[in-house]
Structures are given as structure tokens and as C-alpha cells.
């Protein structure tokens, strides 16, 4: 089955329910094992990237990541475009209950909006962590325009290619202590998660729960992930 059909067949009602209940949703097997290997094989070739970040130089953690340049690899572009219409429905429900502006219904319109606001540089990236690597809790915001959810796809296999390296989400509700969720992704699995905040219902209406994400220390091996952020960067 091609990726387009595969994305169409995802249980989007289930994803929507998880996003609304918890602010994250697992999409198992979004990429095939070969698809993951092809993505990892792109990593060393500098011509694919606009910028390399050594995380320890910025206090972001320990590891390295590279932002793709335009044109993005076909698979990355296709995931951005094909998944967007499904998740923009979830995002617009969030925007509506929080009293915020509606987001475009198609990825091309979101991209045009980013470009109008000077957010021209692509944000999809590949991250690589060795033993001892980790990613400190953060949010991926790159300008005034943001889409409130993003994807991470694990490109190699926990327990075989690396140990440790669990994905972590920390949710902060106003005036409450934080809740952490630890998610173990298998090779090819995608996690859709909240970029900055999500609506949570209370007796007084909806309020914003702030979310940050990161990665626990890798205890052995190498861990590769593909991050797909929908808004572009200043």
C-alpha cells in the first residue's frame, strides 16, 4: 500500500479521541522498516539540510539534529500535506473552544500563511542521539504562526538499535503539579502530540494545558527520529 492510502486508512476517529483526551496519539507503523532505513541513509548527506544543530552547544540536551532544506524529501512533504487535513479538524476544534483564530484547512494554505509572516524556512528535521544523549523538555515554536500539534517518527528499534531514549511529554495545568507521560516508540511508529497547549474542560469552560516534550537519556546504541513540524521558521 502506498503512503497516501496508508494515511487515509489511519483510524482518524481514534486519533482525534486520543488527542482530545490526552494531547497525544500513537500512530503505529506510519513508515515501513525500509522507509525508516531510507530516511536514516539521508542523514550524512549535507546537501539535504539547511542547518545542523549540536544540541549541547545550546543547552538543548546532548545530540545532533539537522533541518531539511526545501525541497523536502518526497516522504516528508507527503506526510506534511496528507496528514494535515485530518489534524487541522482537531486543531480547529481546539482553537474554537479556546476562542482563538481558525487555522487553514489545507497544508498549502498554512504554509502560505507562514510565508506571509516571514516564516520561510522548513522545520522538518532528523535527530540523532548516541549513548548518553537526551533532549531537554521544550516546545517547537518558530514565530507568530504555529500549528498546535506535530509528529515524531522513530526511525530505528528500541531494545535492538538503542536502549533508553523514551519520549516524554509533560503537561502543566494552571495551578497544578505537572503530569509526565513516557512513550516507547517502535521503529516506524509515529506519535502525534501537542506542540504548545491544548484545551482541557473544567466546570468554568476550557482552559489551556501547556505541554512540553523531550527524550530521556539513551543508555546504549544510536537513536534516530524524524520530526515533522507543520509551521515554518523565521
Ligand X SMILES: O=C(O)CCC(=O)C(=O)O
User: Least distance in Å: CB of 168 to Fe ion?
Assistant: 11
Binding residues among 7-66 for ligand X as defined by CB under 6 A: none
User: Least distance in Å: CB of 19 to ligand X?
Assistant: 16
Q: In the complex with Fe ion, which residue's Cβ is closer, 37 or 140?
A: 140
User: Least distance in Å: CB of 194 to Fe ion?
Assistant: 11
User: Least distance in Å: CB of 133 to Fe ion?
Assistant: 14
Binding residues among 177-206 for Fe ion as defined by CB under 5 A: none
State the binding partner of 167 from Fe ion, ligand X, none, CB within 5 to 8 A by kind. ligand X
Q: How far is CA 94 from CA 33, 166, 228, in A?
A: 33, 27, 20
- Please count the residues of this chain forming the interface with ligand X, following the rule CB under 6 A: 9
Q: Is 225 in the site for ligand X (CB under 6 A)?
A: yes
From the list 37, 38, 140, 161, which residue makes contact with Fe ion (rule: CB under 5 A)? 140
Q: How far apart are CA 26 and CA 181, in angstroms?
A: 13
Question: Which helix H or strand E contains 116, and what residues bound it?
Answer: helix 107-116
Close Cβ partners of 233 (under 8 Å, ≥ 6 residues apart): 67, 119, 120, 121, 122, 123, 142, 143
**Three-state DSSP state, 46:** helix
From the list 167, 169, 194, 209, which residue makes contact with ligand X (rule: CB under 6 A)? 167
**Could you list the residues that contact ligand X (CB under 6 A)?**
127, 135, 140, 152, 167, 213, 215, 225, 227
Amino acid at each position: 500500500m502506498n503512503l497516501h492510502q496508508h494515511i487515509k486508512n489511519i483510524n482518524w476517529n481514534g486519533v482525534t479521541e486520543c488527542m482530545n483526551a490526552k494531547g497525544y496519539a500513537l500512530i503505529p507503523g506510519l513508515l515501513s522498516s525500509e522507509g525508516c532505513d531510507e530516511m536514516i541513509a539521508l542523514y550524512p548527506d549535507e546537501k539535504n539540510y539547511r542547518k545542523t544543530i549540536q544540541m549541547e552547544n545550546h543547552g538543548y540536551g546532548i545530540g545532533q539534529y539537522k533541518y531539511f532544506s526545501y525541497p523536502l524529501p518526497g516522504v516528508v512533504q507527503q506526510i506534511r500535506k496528507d496528514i494535515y487535513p485530518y489534524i487541522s479538524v482537531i486543531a480547529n476544534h481546539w482553537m474554537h473552544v479556546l476562542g482563538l483564530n481558525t487555522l487553514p484547512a489545507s497544508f498549502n494554505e498554512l504554509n502560505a500563511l507562514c510565508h506571509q509572516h516571514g516564516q520561510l524556512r522548513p522545520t522538518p528535521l532528523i535527530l540523532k542521539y548516541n549513548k548518553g544523549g537526551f533532549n531537554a523538555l521544550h516546545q517547537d515554536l518558530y514565530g507568530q504562526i504555529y500549528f498546535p500539534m506535530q509528529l515524531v517518527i522513530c526511525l530505528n528499534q528500541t531494545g535492538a538499535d538503542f536502549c533508553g531514549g523514551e519520549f516524554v511529554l509533560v503537561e502543566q495545568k494552571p495551578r497544578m503539579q505537572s503530569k509526565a507521560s513516557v512513550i516507547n516508540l517502535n521503529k516506524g511508529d509515529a506519535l502525534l502530540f501537542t506542540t504548545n497547549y491544548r484545551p482541557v474542560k473544567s466546570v468554568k469552560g476550557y482552559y489551556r494545558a501547556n505541554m512540553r516534550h523531550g527524550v530521556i537519556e539513551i543508555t546504549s546504541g544510536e537513536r534516530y527520529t524524524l520530526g515533522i513540524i507543520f509551521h515554518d521558521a523565521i
